[in-house]
Amino acid sequence: MKAIFIVFNQAHTERVEYILDKLGIRGYSWWSEVKGRGSVDGEPRQGTHTWPEMNSALIAIVEEEKVKPLLERVKKVDEINREVGIRAFVWSINEMY
Amino acid sequence: MSIYKSAINRPITTFMIFTAVIVVGIYALIKMPVDLYPEIDPPYISVMTTYPGASALDIETNITKILEDALNTVDNVKEVTSTSTDNLSVITLKFNWGSNLDEATNQMRDVIDRVYDYMPEDVDRPTILKFNTSMMPIVFYAVTANESYPGLDKILEEKIINPLNRIDGVGSVSMIGAPKRIIYIEADPRRLDAYNLTIEQIGGIIASENLNMPSGNVKMGDMDYQLRIQGEFTDSRQLADLVVGNYNGIPIYLRDVAVVRDSLKDLSLDEKINGKTGLRMFVMKQSGANTVKVAREVNKNLNELKKTLPPDIQINQILDTSSFIKGAISNLSQTLIYAFIFVVLVILVFLGRWRATFIIALTIPVSLIVAFIYLFITDNSINVISLTSLSIAIGMVVDDAIVVLENITRHIERGSSPREAAIYATNEVWLAVIITTLVVVAVFFPLTLVGGMTGMMFNQLGWIVTITVVASTFAAISLTPMMSSRVLKLRKKEVKMKKFSYGRTIEPLLNKLDDFYAKTLTWVLRHKAFVLISLSIVFIASLFSLKFVGTDFMPQTDESRLSISMELQTGTRVEETMKTARKLENIIQEKFPEVELLNVSTGSDDEGGMFSLFIGSGSNIINVMMRLTHVDERERTVWDIADEMRDIVKAFPEVVTFNISTTGAGMGMGGESNVAIEIFGYDFNTTNRIAEEFRQRLSNMPEAKNIVVSRKNDKPELQVVLDREKMALHGLNSATVSTMIRNRVNGMIASRFKEEGEEYDIRIRLSEKYRNSITLLEELTIMNQQGKKIKLKEIGSIEEYWGPPSIQHKRKERIVTVSAIPNGISLSELAKKIIKLTDEVPVPQDVLVNVGGSYEDQQESFQDLMLLMLMSLILVFIVMASQFESFTMPFIIMFSIPFAFTGVMLALFITGSTLNIVAGLGAVLLIGIVVKNGIILVDFTNLMRDRGMRLYDAIVAAGRSRLRPVLMTALTTILGMVPLAFSTGEGSEIWRPMGITVIGGLVFSTIITMIIVPVMYGLMGRSGERNKIMKLRKQFNALDD
């Protein structure tokens, strides 16, 4: 099992939902308003007057075989427009209840 | 859940809500009356008191003074003015605007009750009159007739007036100058004396002969009969054969001592319409009725009814107040449509997208229609003010939608789906949108608090703009995102653009403009001192131009109507006055082909009723009403014509004073503004002398015309001075003698002759040739109770003296006013000259001279306007300071406001217009727009700074990116005003000044704002949000290595 953490501009919400559905990922936890800033050049998302946009984030624990198609799709979404921004991070799950 | 999210997720509900608003709005629009101005209750209440037989002086001391003192205690009274004339005292109380007049009326009634007992016995109970705009007649007709003239009264009453009265909304229909049938019995005093008869005896006999009397019931057989005596005359000729006495056993018939004339009432009012005999008929509407609709119905019905009249009776319309209203309203509606088209075009040019333009344009009707709902709920009408307000609002309601739509488009172009773009883009800007709306509201809301006559105009404007702008903001964060999520789509990047496509024509141009502006800004920022100094010079120079721009009160309108009121020497007989009237009539018909209808009425009608309150009348007065051809069909304006007529009338030696006015039904609004010198003082001779002095000096002043002195010349009167001792010897008293004299001269109404349900007076008096000189009057026979005949000269004498025909009071003091209207200069300039004049003329100590008139109103209104501006500025400052959380930012923006006025002054100077209330209103409006532009610029510069740009870079970048929105806002407003500024139709004079000020002010101030705001920002805005964070972080320096 792998944990996949996706942080994305709110404007990508519908696309992300679509991806999850398509890949049959049922379980996830979702933070709809998350602040953030890109490590290299990504604009801050702070929901303030200066930086009005906001990110959302979700974490899902998926089978290993779903990680690759998921990342591929995330990349596709990111390529539509890099300014908008979406990132996915994956790490292993050691134990589960 | 936020509004925009719900709106996007439930598009049908959103759509339905707005459809509901539109449906209700259209219903309101159909149901609403159309009028020229909002209906207002002017805060005036009059008290009329009659005291038969008293002279002006008696009335003044016995009635007016008592009432004035008492009424002055009523709450909220601002000013008490009064006129005391023979038999009548009229006191007018002016209240503060917005006072409760019902309560005031009750209080007045109480006060009058309290003092009524202190007044002379014969005084009739005072009547309280409240004025309302709806009391003015709405349609005037001239009726002319040849053969049918003697019976015109009755024919009209039956065939026209009664049916017209049945129309819904018609208050009343009345006639002026209608011929009245009357039966005169004119006696020969010598014969009366010879037969020992008196007028009173004959009167008594006629009254007792002209009688029907039921005399009980008679039972005969099975029947019960009523017994009646039918003594009433069935024919006026029967009167002549009446036996009035017996002399030596021979019966004396009425024909032996008098002549019976069944005829028309003696001439006191002469009506000529286009030179033909006739009368005037006028229609008043009920309060709250739709003027345009009532006038239309009346005209339609009248055309039908005309067919039933004898062919020689002609009915012509002299004046239809509704036609001006209709013209003005349709003109404004057109303006509104043009404004709409212009606004849409501007959006299209700047956005270059049909769909986006459609979405934004949709907010216009939605928000404007909300204004109609407001008007409907508050019982208002569609009028010039409300429509002008709408055309002002039209350029502003799109702004919010533009901001929202721009952001949504940006998101879509970044690849978001329209639905998400709509939600998140709206989320980003909705607060900013609401704050800019608050600024506009801060400017316009104070307008709703203004009082006075200006308040009447401004309140509606304030409410309408506030409401439409708020509605537009609501639409911008609900309807606009919803529509965007449905209608907008990602534009494909066209590889090959068509030759005339947007991307190859307009867009490069706009880009060039952006570049040019960015370059200018860079230069300007490096030469801040130079720019500031030169702009200050421009501003100071414009302050000097204030000298050349005069100020006025209200703009004047060409309503194609003219009226002249001329006064001959007081006491002139109506027959003589008529000669002058005929002379004038001929000249007018000859020299002024523009006069379509000419109505001349000479003398007075004692039964003019309400109408005589508005127009003075008397045997020496000529009133002329003229209707001119339509504005477009003539070369001379109504003012040119008035000036020429003034020269003509001036040449008449017999005319003492005259007044030519170009106002119609505007109830003093849009009319001629005058300056009045008010002379307070008790002594008639002194004040008259001073008034004459001013009149002379004003006549020599070429800048003043239409000089009118309010106090009429003393009029000659004959006074019978009775000797009480001598009367007592004959067993007579003043009461019996004066009644007898009245019966002989004025006549005694003995009885009434009935025919076909109408009653006509039978009036008995001496034949005129026996009562037309002092000697003859002295020969009048008075009979005492013993039947002894006494000549009037035995018990008294007749003296000639002069008395004032009327006495006016203001603030309980006697007053004479000398008023003039400006000739070729502005009201303020004339006022300045007149104030100088009042310093030159020496006045005794007990006389007070004051300059007032419309000038006073103007001063008051300007003060109101200044206060209003101040309040707007404070409110705007409050909103801005809290928006930016800073005291410097509002200052940066407010630096552009003075230049708005520079623009206004320049525009007025160039077009040669004067600064009047309407132009002042335009100036207030400018504050809103200029500040809004400033906010857009500063806000974005702040944003750039906070995002880490350096000061100058941020300013240039912000300027470059905000140029288009600012230009759009300015252009939509400017182009929305263009139709107002250039319209020439009916009523356009009212709003043209506003168009000129707004366009001039906006063009200039937009350009200046785009320069001064960045420069000021460069000077004052050194510490941005970034510096604040730096400061905060200094506290944590210890955490560093």
Cβ-based burial of A85 (10 A; exposed 0-12, middle 13-18, buried ≥19): buried
Average pLDDT score over residue span B68-85: 86
Sign of the dihedral through C-alpha B543, B549, B553, B557:
negative
Residue B652 clears pLDDT 90, i.e. is over it: no
Question: Is the CB of residue B144 less than 8 Å from the CB of residue B313?
Answer: yes
- Residue A69 is predicted with a pLDDT of 92
Sign of the dihedral through C-alpha B265, B266, B272, B277:
positive
Q: Reduced to 3 states, what is the DSSP secondary structure of residue A43?
A: coil
Question: Is the CB of residue B574 less than 8 Å from the CB of residue B602?
Answer: yes
Q: Do B432 and A49 touch (CB under 8 A)?
A: yes
Beta strands B181-187 and B758-766 are parallel
Written as one string, the DSSP assignment of B531-569 is: HHHHHHHHHHHHHHHTTTS-B-SS-----SEEEEEEEES
Q: What domains, with CATH codes, occur in chain A?
A: 2-58+70-88 (3.30.70.120)
Three-class secondary structure assignment of B815-851: EEEEEEEECCCCHHHHHHHHHHHHHHCCCCCCCEEEE
For residue A10, the chain B residues in CB contact (below 8 A) are 420, 424
For residue B1025, the chain A residues in CB contact (below 8 A) are 50
Average pLDDT score over residue span B122-142: 78
Q: Reduced to 3 states, what is the DSSP secondary structure of residue B98?
A: coil
Question: Is the CB of residue B533 less than 8 Å from the CB of residue B1024?
Answer: no
Residue bearing tokens 């000697």: B775
Q: Do B420 and A81 touch (CB under 8 A)?
A: no
Question: Is the CB of residue B827 less than 8 Å from the CB of residue B520?
Answer: no
Beta pairing partners, B783 = B789
Residue B610 clears pLDDT 50, i.e. is over it: no
Ramachandran angles phi, psi of B851, nearest 5°? -105, 125
Compute chain B's Rg from CA coordinates. 37
Q: Do A13 and B1025 touch (CB under 8 A)?
A: no
| B802-823 residue pLDDT tens | 777 778 888 888 888 888 887 7
Question: Is the CB of residue B976 less than 8 Å from the CB of residue B882?
Answer: no
First-to-last C-alpha distance (Å) of chain B = 47
CA distance linking residue B140 with residue B317, whole number of Å: 6
Question: Is the CB of residue B247 less than 8 Å from the CB of residue B576?
Answer: no
For residue A51, the chain B residues in CB contact (below 8 A) are 947
B414 touches chain A (CB under 8 A): yes
Q: Which residue has the higher pLDDT, B555 or B1016?
A: B1016
Question: Token pair of B319, please?
Answer: 């004046």
- Residue A3 is predicted with a pLDDT of 94
B434 touches chain A (CB under 8 A): no
H helices present in B232-353, as ranges: 254-257, 291-306, 321-351
Mutation target among A15, A18, A49 for the B interface, most CBs of B within 10 A: A49
Question: Token pair of B190, please?
Answer: 């010598």
Question: Is the CB of residue B381 less than 8 Å from the CB of residue B38?
Answer: yes
For residue A83, the chain B residues in CB contact (below 8 A) are 414
Question: Is the CB of residue B697 less than 8 Å from the CB of residue B770?
Answer: no
DSSP structure class, residue B322: H
For residue A52, the chain B residues in CB contact (below 8 A) are 427-429
Q: Do A52 and B429 touch (CB under 8 A)?
A: yes
- Residue B612 is predicted with a pLDDT of 44
Average pLDDT score over residue span B694-715: 80
Q: Do A84 and B416 touch (CB under 8 A)?
A: yes
Q: How many residues does chain A have?
A: 97
How far off is chain B from A52, nearest CA to CA, in Å?
Answer: 5
Instruction: Choose the weakest-confidence range: A51-65, B300-314, B378-392, B616-630.
Output: B616-630
B411 touches chain A (CB under 8 A): yes
- Residue A62 is predicted with a pLDDT of 92
First-to-last C-alpha distance (Å) of chain A = 12
Neighbours of B50 (CB within 10 A): 18
Q: Identify the helix (H) or strand (E) that includes residue A51.
A: none
Residue B557 clears pLDDT 60, i.e. is over it: yes
- Residue B102 is predicted with a pLDDT of 84
| B901-920 residue pLDDT tens | 788 888 888 777 777 777 77
Instruction: Compare CB distances from A83 to B414, B431, B943 and report the shortest one's residue.
Output: B414
- Burial code (b: 16+ CB inside 10 Å, e: under 16) for B513-542 equals eeeebbeebeebbeeeeebbeebeeebeeb
Confidence of residue B493 (pLDDT cuts 50, 70, 90): low
Question: Is the CB of residue B277 less than 8 Å from the CB of residue B585?
Answer: no
Average pLDDT score over residue span B376-402: 82
Q: Do B421 and A11 touch (CB under 8 A)?
A: yes
CA dihedral B425, B429, B433, B438 (to 10 degrees): 150
**What residues have CB less than 8 Å from B158, skipping those under 6 apart?**
none
B702 touches chain A (CB under 8 A): no
- Residue B166 is predicted with a pLDDT of 86
Q: Do A14 and B429 touch (CB under 8 A)?
A: no
Q: Identify the helix (H) or strand (E) that includes residue B616.
A: none
How far off is chain B from A1, nearest CA to CA, in Å?
Answer: 32
Q: What percent of chain B has pLDDT over 70?
A: 91
- Residue B672 is predicted with a pLDDT of 61
Confidence of residue A29 (pLDDT cuts 50, 70, 90): very high
Interface of A with B (CB under 8 A): 10-15, 49-54, 80-81, 83-84
For residue B421, the chain A residues in CB contact (below 8 A) are 11
Q: Choose the most confident range, by mean pLDDT, from B522-536, B647-661, B992-1006.
A: B522-536
Sign of the dihedral through C-alpha B769, B770, B773, B775:
positive
Residue A36 clears pLDDT 50, i.e. is over it: yes
Confidence of residue A5 (pLDDT cuts 50, 70, 90): very high
Average pLDDT score over residue span B30-50: 79
- Of B915, B913, B966, B917, give the one whose Cα is nearest residue B937: B966
Residue A94 clears pLDDT 80, i.e. is over it: yes
Beta strands B796-803 and B715-722 are antiparallel
| B232-272 residue pLDDT tens | 888 888 888 888 888 888 888 888 888 888 877 765 667 77
B420 touches chain A (CB under 8 A): yes
Q: Do B411 and A10 touch (CB under 8 A)?
A: no
Confidence of residue B556 (pLDDT cuts 50, 70, 90): low
B421 touches chain A (CB under 8 A): yes
- Residue B667 is predicted with a pLDDT of 39
Residue B668 clears pLDDT 60, i.e. is over it: no
| B410-465 residue pLDDT tens | 888 877 788 888 888 888 788 778 888 888 888 888 888 877 666 776 788 888 88
Instruction: Choose the weakest-confidence range: B548-562, B727-741, B802-816, B965-979.
Output: B548-562
